[in-house]
Structure 1
Amino acid sequence: MGLTDCCRRTFAFTREILRQPAKGDGDLRFSDLGFFLRFARPIWKAGVLALVATAIVSALKTVLPLSIKVFIDNILLGEAPSSDAILAGAGGLLSSLDLLIVALLALGLLTGATDLARNYLTARFREGYAFNLQTALVEHVLSFPLSYFKSQQTGYIMSRLSDDVQILQYTISQYLPQIVANALYVAFTLVILSILSLSLTFVVLAFIPLYLLVNAVFVRRIRAATHRERERQAYVSRDLQEVISGIDTVKSHAAEDREVHKVSGTLRNMVDARIKNTMLSAFSEYFRIGTMSLMLVAVIWFGGNEVLAGAMTVGDFVAFAVYIMTFAPTVNTFFAFPVVMQPALTSAARLHELFGMHGESGAAPGAGGIVPGAVQGRIEFAGVWFGYDRSDWVLHDARFVIRPGEAVAVVGRTGAGKTTLINLILRAFAPQRGTITLDGHDLMSLDPQWLRRQISIVSQDLFLFHTTIEENIRYSRPEATVEEVVEAARRAQIHDEIVRLPDGYRTIVGERGTQLSVGQRQRVAIARAFLKDAPILILDEPTSALDLQTEDLIRRTLRTLVQGRTTILISHRPSLLELADRILAVEDGRVRECRDAGPGRGLTGYGDAPLWHGA
Structure 2
Amino acid sequence: MKGAAERTGRSIAFVREVLAAPQKTEFRYRDLRFFLPYLRPVWKLGAVSLAITMVLVGLRALVPLSGKIFLDYLVPGAGAAPPTTPFTLSLPTLLLAMLVLGAAVGVLGLLQTYLLVRFREEYTFGLQADLFDHVLRFPLPYFKAGQTGYLMSRISGDVGVMQYLFSQFLPQIISNVFYVAFSLVILYALSARLTLLLIVFTPLFLLANLVFLSRIRAVTYQEREREAHVSRDLQEVLAGIETVKAHAAEEREVGRVVATLRGVIRMRVRNAMLASFSGQALLGTQFLLLLAVVWVGGQEVIAGAMTVGGFVAYIAYIVTFSAAARTFFSLPVVLQPVVTSAERLRELFGTETEAAGLAPATVAGRIAFQDVSFSYPDGTEVLRDVSFTVGPGEVVALVGRTGAGKTTLINLVLRFYSPTAGTVTLDGRDLADLDPRWVREQVSVVSQDLFLFHTSVEENIRYGRPEAGRDEVVAAAEKAQVHEEVLGFPHGYETVVGERGMQLSTGQRQRIAVARAFLRDSTILILDEPTSALDARTEERLQASLADLAEGRTVVMITHRTALLALADRVYAIEDGRLVERAAAGEVG
**Would you call these one fold, judging by a TM-score over 0.5?**
yes
Separation of aligned partners in 2, 1:330 and 1:94 = 34
Correspondence 1:415-494 to 2 at 5 A: 415-494=403-482
Quote how far apart the aligned CAs of 1:78 are: 4.2
The answer to whether 1:263 aligns with 2:257 is yes
Query: Is the deviation greater in 296-305 or in 500-509?
Result: 500-509
Separation of aligned partners in 1, 2:130 and 2:84 = 54
C-alpha contact 2:230 2:257 (8 A) present in aligned 1: yes
Q: Which of 347, 371, 394 pairs up with 1:383?
A: 371
Deviations 1:556-608 (A, max 9, x none): 33222222211111122323222211122222222x232333xxx522x4xxx
Separation of aligned partners in 1, 2:379 and 2:496 = 47
1:59 maps to 58
- Residue 214 of structure 1: SS of its match in structure 2? helix
Q: Which of 104, 122, 128 pairs up with 1:134?
A: 128
Quote how far apart the aligned CAs of 1:98 are: 2.4
1:563 is matched by which residue type in structure 2?
Answer: E
Separation of aligned partners in 2, 1:104 and 1:466 = 57
Quote how far apart the aligned CAs of 1:385 are: 2.6
1:506 is matched by which residue type in structure 2?
Answer: E
Query: Is the deviation greater in 244-253 or in 535-544?
Result: 535-544
Moved over 4 A (4+): none
Q: Which of 340, 359, 362 pairs up with 1:371?
A: 359
C-alpha contact 2:32 2:339 (8 A) present in aligned 1: no
Separation of aligned partners in 1, 2:268 and 2:412 = 42
The answer to whether 1:250 aligns with 2:244 is yes
Quote how far apart the aligned CAs of 1:178 are: 0.4
- Residue 602 of structure 1: SS of its match in structure 2? helix
Separation of aligned partners in 2, 1:315 and 1:57 = 24
Separation of aligned partners in 1, 2:10 and 2:84 = 63
User: Structure 2, unaligned stretches of length 5 or more?
Assistant: none
Separation of aligned partners in 2, 1:480 and 1:10 = 67
C-alpha contact 2:573 2:582 (8 A) present in aligned 1: no
- Residue 89 of structure 2: SS of its match in structure 1? coil
C-alpha contact 1:377 1:405 (8 A) present in aligned 2: no
- Residue 460 of structure 1: SS of its match in structure 2? coil
C-alpha contact 1:456 1:533 (8 A) present in aligned 2: yes
Correspondence 1:125-164 to 2 at 5 A: 125-164=119-158
1:69 maps to 68
2:180 maps to 186
1:96 is matched by which residue type in structure 2?
Answer: S
1:327 maps to 321
1:14 is matched by which residue type in structure 2?
Answer: V
C-alpha contact 1:581 1:596 (8 A) present in aligned 2: no
Separation of aligned partners in 1, 2:235 and 2:556 = 33
1:613 maps to none
Deviations 1:129-180 (A, max 9, x none): 1111111111111111222222221111111111111121122111110000
Quote how far apart the aligned CAs of 1:390 are: 5.3
2:49 maps to 50
The answer to whether 1:8 aligns with 2:9 is yes
Quote how far apart the aligned CAs of 1:307 are: 1.1
Query: Is the deviation greater in 547-556 or in 274-283?
Result: 547-556
Quote how far apart the aligned CAs of 1:490 are: 1.3
Separation of aligned partners in 2, 1:23 and 1:503 = 58
1:288 maps to 282
Q: Which of 541, 545, 552 pairs up with 1:557?
A: 545
Q: Which of 357, 364, 372 pairs up with 2:351?
A: 357
2:466 is matched by which residue type in structure 1?
Answer: P
Compared with structure 1, are the counterparts of its residues 95 and 79 closer, same or farther at alpha carbon in structure 2 (3 Å cutoff)?
Answer: farther
Separation of aligned partners in 1, 2:164 and 2:471 = 47
1:222 maps to 216
Quote how far apart the aligned CAs of 1:318 are: 0.4
1:593 maps to 580
Using the size of structure 1 for normalisation, the TM-score is 0.92
Compared with structure 1, are the counterparts of its residues 307 and 78 closer, same or farther at alpha carbon in structure 2 (3 Å cutoff)?
Answer: closer
1:85 maps to none
Quote how far apart the aligned CAs of 1:89 are: 5.3
2:397 is matched by which residue type in structure 1?
Answer: A
User: Structure 1, unaligned stretches of length 5 or more?
Assistant: 83-87, 363-368, 611-615
C-alpha contact 2:454 2:499 (8 A) present in aligned 1: yes
C-alpha contact 1:94 1:100 (8 A) present in aligned 2: no
Query: Is the deviation greater in 375-384 or in 155-164?
Result: 375-384
Deviations 1:83-133 (A, max 9, x none): xxxxx457x866322221221111111111111111111111011111111
Separation of aligned partners in 2, 1:246 and 1:559 = 36
Query: Quick one: percent identity of the two aligned structures?
Result: 55
2:400 maps to 412
1:570 is matched by which residue type in structure 2?
Answer: I
The answer to whether 1:198 aligns with 2:185 is no
Deviations 1:499-547 (A, max 9, x none): 2323221111111112222111111111110000011111112233333
C-alpha contact 2:510 2:533 (8 A) present in aligned 1: no
Query: Is the deviation greater in 259-268 or in 554-563?
Result: 554-563
Quote how far apart the aligned CAs of 1:81 are: 3.8
Compared with structure 1, are the counterparts of its residues 102 and 581 closer, same or farther at alpha carbon in structure 2 (3 Å cutoff)?
Answer: same
Q: Which of 546, 559, 580 pairs up with 1:571?
A: 559
C-alpha contact 2:481 2:538 (8 A) present in aligned 1: no
Separation of aligned partners in 2, 1:45 and 1:514 = 48
2:15 is matched by which residue type in structure 1?
Answer: T
Separation of aligned partners in 2, 1:589 and 1:17 = 54
Separation of aligned partners in 2, 1:462 and 1:552 = 20
Q: Which of 481, 488, 505 pairs up with 2:493?
A: 505
Separation of aligned partners in 2, 1:577 and 1:412 = 13
Separation of aligned partners in 1, 2:261 and 2:561 = 45
The answer to whether 1:115 aligns with 2:109 is yes
Separation of aligned partners in 1, 2:506 and 2:181 = 69
Separation of aligned partners in 2, 1:441 and 1:79 = 96
Compared with structure 1, are the counterparts of its residues 36 and 93 closer, same or farther at alpha carbon in structure 2 (3 Å cutoff)?
Answer: farther
- Residue 206 of structure 1: SS of its match in structure 2? helix
C-alpha contact 2:562 2:586 (8 A) present in aligned 1: no
Separation of aligned partners in 1, 2:266 and 2:370 = 53
1:209 maps to 203
2:39 is matched by which residue type in structure 1?
Answer: A
Deviations 1:282-335 (A, max 9, x none): 111111111111111111111111111222111110000111111111111111
Separation of aligned partners in 2, 1:147 and 1:423 = 11
C-alpha contact 2:301 2:308 (8 A) present in aligned 1: yes
C-alpha contact 1:387 1:393 (8 A) present in aligned 2: yes
Quote how far apart the aligned CAs of 1:80 are: 3.3
- Residue 351 of structure 1: SS of its match in structure 2? helix
The answer to whether 1:24 aligns with 2:17 is no
CA RMSD of aligned residues (A): 1.7
1:595 is matched by which residue type in structure 2?
Answer: R
Separation of aligned partners in 1, 2:255 and 2:71 = 67
C-alpha contact 2:19 2:274 (8 A) present in aligned 1: yes
C-alpha contact 1:465 1:472 (8 A) present in aligned 2: yes
Query: Is the deviation greater in 495-504 or in 133-142?
Result: 495-504
- Residue 321 of structure 1: SS of its match in structure 2? helix
- Residue 362 of structure 2: SS of its match in structure 1? coil
2:586 maps to 602
